[in-house]
């Protein structure tokens, strides 16, 4: 994306200014952040995704008069439910970027925030009056208006008490301090914990760029899981000096002492943390499956096609790197030739390699293996 496009997206400020003044600090409303934007998927395409068992979706009927009686239905949705006209409703589809290449491209317009923090692009479709009610999220979000209009009310309130017994996390006492109507292409950035309520004015779609904000507890679970697979402790339990116990059911202090000593041998280093993060942050969501090409090109034909026209990571592929743990793709580390690392870092950042350049044989082998796994696709040949 060009600097001018980023400046438009952020309302005339640079990404560095955005990070210093707004990111995780205060909201930013940008009118016409994406001029001409009217969404990435039609109503029917959104409904098809919502009805697909592999796609995460929610149908929400929020009742402002009786919030605790609001209704939530997790996907796959029934098509008939998506026709209701009597009561306002909305359907939300998570991970649009996994299914629609243009949604992956939109998500990556926001990669002035590290990809390690980027989660997914959600789309919501609502009929007039539809929304999910006043709530707060624990993560940052960019809300981009697709078709139609949506009224956003927001608040920086400390009172986060929730409506009891509701199927949604709804604020009991929402006191908005700003009230804006967003039109197609308008963008609203909200830091974590800002209360917000979006109400559709007529039929509308909203695209939300969400971020990963794992809790310490989630990271600990993930790390202990990773450590369990990578740990290699020596020795085994032994008790050559065992003495007769009065009660055979007792777990003796001596046994506890010996096991405590063994477990005290569990150690990890910063390098382990870096390797864990590489795997954890590139692990595909459980619903993700890659589709290898039907009739894959052999290595020579593939090399010729990539060097001529380029290639792009599949929208579902996650490729990240750190100076301490190297590259990880879709949950796994891989060895790379030191000479290929600059090109790999560019591929990870831009998610594509342009055609019209010779590429090293070692890199072509790696790319070919990923192509065969469905992690990467050849760029389309430009029309003659």
**Residue 183 is encoded by which pair of tokens?**
């039109």
Backbone angles phi, psi at 272, to 5 degrees: -65, -40
**Smallest gap, in angstroms, from Cβ of residue 76 to Co ion?**
23
Binding-site member from 58, 196, 328, 368 for ligand SIN (CB under 6 A): 196
Residue 35: CB minimum distance to ligand SIN, A? 21
CB of 160 closer than 8 Å to CB of 138? no
The torsion defined by the Cα of 332, 336, 341 and 345, in degrees rounded to 10, comes to -20
Binding stretches for Co ion (CB under 5 A): 137
Enumerate residues 242-301 that contact ligand SIN by CB under 6 A.
none
Q: Which is nearer to Co ion, 211 or 321 (CB)?
A: 211
Reading across the β-sheet that carries 326-329, which strands appear in turn?
319-322, 326-329, 332-333
In terms of Cβ atoms closer than 10 Å to its own Cβ (0-12, 13-18, 19+), residue 363 is: buried
Which position's Cβ is nearest ligand SIN?
124
Is the Cβ of residue 209 or residue 275 nearer to ligand SIN in the bound state?
209
Of all residues in this chain, which one has the CB nearest to Co ion in the complex?
137
Q: Should residue 133 be labelled a site residue for ligand SIN when binding is judged by CB under 6 A?
A: no
Q: Is 120 in the site for ligand SIN (CB under 6 A)?
A: no
Distances (CA, A) of 368 to 101, 135, 273, 293, 298: 21, 46, 30, 11, 8
- Least separation in angstroms between residue 126's CB and ligand SIN is 6
Among 30, 34, 132, 275, indicate the residue that binds ligand SIN (CB under 6 A).
132
Q: Does 94 bind ligand SIN (CB under 6 A)?
A: no
| Part of the chain binding ligand SIN (CB under 6 A), chosen from 131-139, 164-172, 258-266, 355-363 | 131-139
The CB-of-204 to ligand SIN minimum distance in angstroms stands at 9
Nearest approach in angstroms of CB 190 to Co ion is 8
- Give the residue from 56, 87, 54, 52 showing the smallest Cα distance to 70: 87
Asked if 131 touches ligand SIN (CB under 6 A), the answer is yes
Q: Which is nearer to Co ion, 137 or 186 (CB)?
A: 137
Q: Which is nearer to ligand SIN, 90 or 115 (CB)?
A: 90
Burial annotation 6-39 (CB, 10 A radius, 16+ → b, else e) = bebbbbebebeebeeebbeeebbbbeebbeebeb
Contacts with ligand SIN, residue ranges (CB under 6 A)? 90, 124, 131-132, 137, 141, 196, 198, 206, 208
């Amino acid at each position: 994306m060009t600097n001018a496009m980023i400046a438009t997206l952020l309302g005339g400020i640079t990404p560095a200014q955005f990070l210093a003044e707004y990111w995780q600090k205060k909201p930013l409303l940008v009118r016409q952040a994406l001029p001409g934007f009217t969404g990435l998927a039609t109503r029917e395409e959104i409904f098809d995704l919502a009805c697909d068992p592999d796609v995460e979706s929610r149908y929400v009927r929020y009742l402002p008069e009786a919030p605790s009686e609001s209704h939530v239905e997790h996907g796959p949705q029934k098509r008939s439910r998506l026709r209701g006209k009597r009561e306002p409703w909305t359907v939300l589809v998570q991970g649009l970027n996994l299914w629609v290449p243009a949604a992956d491209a939109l998500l990556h317009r926001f990669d002035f925030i590290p990809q390690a923090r980027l989660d997914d692009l959600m789309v919501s479709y609502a009929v007039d009056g539809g929304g999910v009610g006043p709530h707060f999220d624990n993560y940052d979000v960019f809300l981009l208006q697709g078709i139609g209009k949506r009224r956003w009310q927001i608040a920086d309130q400390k009172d986060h008490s929730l409506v009891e017994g509701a199927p949604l996390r709804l604020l009991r006492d929402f006191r908005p301090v700003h009230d804006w109507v967003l039109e197609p292409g308008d963008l609203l950035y909200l830091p974590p914990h800002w209360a917000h309520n979006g109400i559709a004015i007529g039929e509308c779609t909203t695209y939300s760029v969400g971020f990963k904000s794992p809790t310490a507890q989630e990271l600990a679970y993930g790390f202990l899981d990773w450590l369990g697979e990578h740990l290699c402790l020596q020795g085994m339990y032994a008790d050559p000096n065992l003495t007769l116990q009065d009660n055979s059911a007792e777990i003796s202090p001596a046994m506890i002492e010996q096991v405590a000593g063994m477990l005290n041998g569990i150690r990890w280093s910063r390098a382990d943390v870096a390797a864990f993060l590489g795997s954890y942050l590139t692990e595909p969501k459980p619903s993700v499956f890659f589709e290898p090409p039907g009739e894959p090109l052999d290595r020579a034909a593939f090399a010729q096609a990539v060097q001529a026209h380029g290639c792009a990571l599949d929208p579902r592929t996650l490729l990240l790197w750190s100076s301490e743990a190297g590259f990880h793709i879709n949950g796994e580390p891989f060895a790379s030739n030191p000479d290929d690392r600059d090109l790999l870092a560019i591929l990870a950042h831009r998610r594509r390699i342009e055609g019209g350049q010779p590429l090293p044989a070692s890199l072509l082998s790696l790319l070919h293996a990923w192509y065969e796994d469905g992690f990467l696709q050849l760029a389309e040949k430009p029309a003659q």
